[in-house]
Amino acid sequence: MVMMKQVLHGRSSEPQNRAPLTILHSGGLYPLDRDPSCLFQALAMLRKEEEVLPGQVQFIFRGCGDDNYFSQMAQEHKVNDFVKIEPMIPYIDALAECFKVDALMVIQGRKFNNQIPAKIYEYFRIGRPIVGLVDLEGETAKVLKKMGCESIFPMTSIKIIKNGLKELVDNLAKGKVFVPELAAVTQYSRHSRARELGKNLDEVYEQSCVKFQQSY
């Protein structure tokens, strides 16, 4: 019942102090533009240099689509002990899972620069740190920056992802991570967005009336 209230209303208590830390990507992945290959290569480098080890952090990819393809990718980069590829589950269960992890991940490449995935607003409401592997010129990167998210990395830069992940894992372990304030998050609620849309429509209507009157 408590978890259901969290799913419906957002925000939760901190996840339990446990190892490994868990970072969840919930939703579809695609070659090229929602592609975790640079992340996997960064993880391989971190392990080789013994900066981050599988016992410290685990990445869960829930409902990514072609499970076999991405499992094989993880194996090819020798990071399958960092990565769990999990099947799709009902929406309410997938949302509940987001409350149980230490951080949430969004992957959004250049092809989707004009789009913002709907799950990012769910992430905001859940109240976990957000990791963005994105094109820095895209709308997703912009909204993450606007909300003050710190772990925003170019999706195709292995070096930057590597350095950023090392810092993120260290900060998660210490509890020193940024989570958007609930007051800031509410601007993206359906009620708030509908109110904003209504205000904009009123302004357009008023401007149209003025122009109509001026034409006579």
What is the CB neighbour count within 10 angstroms for residue 150? 16
Pairing of strands 83-86, 103-108: unpaired
Q: For 126-150, what is the mean pLDDT?
A: 94
Q: Residue 4's pLDDT is what?
A: 44
Among 6-15, 42-51, 87-96, 129-138, name the one with the lowest average pLDDT: 6-15
Query: Which of these, 85, 72, 78, lies nearest to 40 by C-alpha position?
Result: 78
For residue 52, give the amino acid letter. Answer: V
- Give the confidence band of 188 by pLDDT, cuts at 50, 70, 90: low
Residues 136, 154 contacting (CB under 8 angstroms): yes
Q: Residue 105's pLDDT is what?
A: 97
Instruction: Specify which residues 62 forms β-bridges with.
Output: 26, 86
Query: Which of these, 75, 11, 6, lies nearest to 37 by C-alpha position?
Result: 75
Instruction: Specify which residues 132 forms β-bridges with.
Output: 106, 152
Pairing of strands 103-108, 130-134: parallel
Q: Residue 125's pLDDT is what?
A: 87
Q: How far is residue 29's CA from residue 17's CA, in Å, rounded to a whole number? A: 29
Q: How far is residue 169's CA from residue 117's CA, in Å, rounded to a whole number? A: 24
- Cα–Cα distances in angstroms (integers) from residue 207 to residues 128, 198, 202, 215, 216, in the given order: 42, 14, 9, 12, 15
Among 116-125, 155-164, 193-202, name the one with the lowest average pLDDT: 193-202
DSSP codes joined into one string, 22-64: EEEEES--BTTTB--HHHHHHHHHHHHTTSS-TTTEEEEEES-
- For the chain, what is the radius of gyration of the CA atoms? 20
Round the average pLDDT of the chain to a whole number and report it: 83
Residues 139, 116 contacting (CB under 8 angstroms): yes
Tell me: the pLDDT tens digits for 13-38?
Answer: 455 556 799 999 999 998 888 999 99
Under DSSP, the state recorded for 178 is -
